[in-house]
Each structure stands twice: as structure tokens, then as C-alpha cells.
């Protein structure tokens, strides 16, 4: 039985295989292709590098932040 997680992993591995094929299975070329793509397809949203930058962004953009630790990745009962 395939779970939702399995289908996500399948899709991820398929994308990885396609990108590797485009780069001729060359890791350095794959990295260069990724850098070129990022340079020509900039992300429109702001990016943050740490919690202080996130809090500064929050204060200027009126965002709601959850300061509590997430249970993401914790086993489900």
C-alpha cells in the first residue's frame, strides 16, 4: 500500500533523476544548472537567515508568528 509520504518521495526522486540526467550525471554541472536557474528565476518573497531577521520582517509586515516549538517530525500516536 502506497502512502502519501511514498508518493511525495517518488515525485522527489523523479525530479532528482530528471535534473541529474539533464546534467549528464555530473554533480558540478547540476550545481551550475541550479545556480543559473536561480539567477534567472528570482524568488519574489523576502528571505530571512535567522530568527532576528524574521522578527524584523514580522514587525514591518504585520505578520503573526508562532514562537512555540513545532512538533514537526515527531512520531504520531
Model confidence pLDDT, tens digit, residues 36-65: 999 999 888 778 889 898 888 888 877 666
What is the pLDDT, as a whole number, of residue 67? 61
In a domain, residue 71? The reply is no
Measured between alpha carbons, how far is 31 from 51 in angstroms, rounded to an integer? 28
Domain of residue 14: give its range: 4-61
In a domain, residue 57? The reply is yes
Q: Is residue 2's pLDDT more than 90? A: no
- Looking at 2-73, list the stretches that DSSP marks H as alpha helix, in order from N- to C-terminal side: 4-22, 27-40, 51-61
Q: Is residue 22's pLDDT more than 90? A: yes
Tell the residue number behind the cell numbers 528565476, with chain if given: 41
C-alpha cell at 68: 512555540
Measured between alpha carbons, how far is 11 from 32 in angstroms, rounded to an integer? 22
User: Whole-prediction pTM value?
Assistant: 0.50
In a domain, residue 36? The reply is yes
Amino acid at each position: 500500500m502506497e502512502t502519501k509520504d511514498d508518493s511525495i518521495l517518488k515525485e522527489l526522486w523523479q525530479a532528482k533523476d530528471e535534473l541529474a540526467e539533464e546534467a549528464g550525471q555530473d554533480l558540478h554541472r547540476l550545481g551550475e544548472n541550479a545556480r543559473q536557474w536561480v539567477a534567472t528565476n528570482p524568488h519574489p518573497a523576502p528571505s530571512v537567515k535567522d530568527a532576528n531577521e524574521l522578527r524584523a520582517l514580522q514587525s514591518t509586515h504585520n505578520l503573526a508568528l508562532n514562537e512555540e516549538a513545532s512538533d514537526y517530525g515527531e512520531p504520531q500516536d
